[in-house]
Structure 1
């Protein structure tokens, strides 16, 4: 996972052209920290980050 979506912060392999989670084409390889969300509807962290789908997310995307 090399790029993060600037819109939803989901992490993906560098070969991805658009975010499969939200459809945005605004991707960045400049990101920091990550969190794995397994149960988004039960997670306080997911709620704070507005995450609704399970996956791996960057904490900060530039």
Structure 2
């Protein structure tokens, strides 16, 4: 876990601890139980983004429990 940030259980976006909903997908299912993250700048050019099914730039957790 990186600091006290949260991760979305639906899309794996990393969000600030004061967020109630995910800014990427709108889910309210957020957790403190996550590990590692990747920053995606250009999802249309990223193999990792393709593997993770990410289509918006941002920070994404690699493992969410």
TM > 0.5:
yes
Runs of at least 4 residues of structure 1 off by over 4 A?
none
1:14 counterpart (6, 12, 17): 17
Paired residues, what number? 62
Give the alignment's TM-score, normalised by structure 2: 0.92
Paired residues for 1:36-51 under 5 Å: 36-51=39-54
Query: What is the CA–CA distance in structure 2 between the aligned matches of 1:15 and 1:35, rounded to whole Å?
Result: 21
Q: 1:57 aligns with which of 41, 45, 60?
A: 60
The CA RMSD measured in Å over matched residues stands at: 0.9
TM-score by length of 1: 0.97
**Runs of 5+ in structure 1 lacking a partner?**
none
Question: Partners of 1:37 and 1:20 in 2: how far apart?
Answer: 15
- Give 5+ residue unaligned stretches, structure 2: none
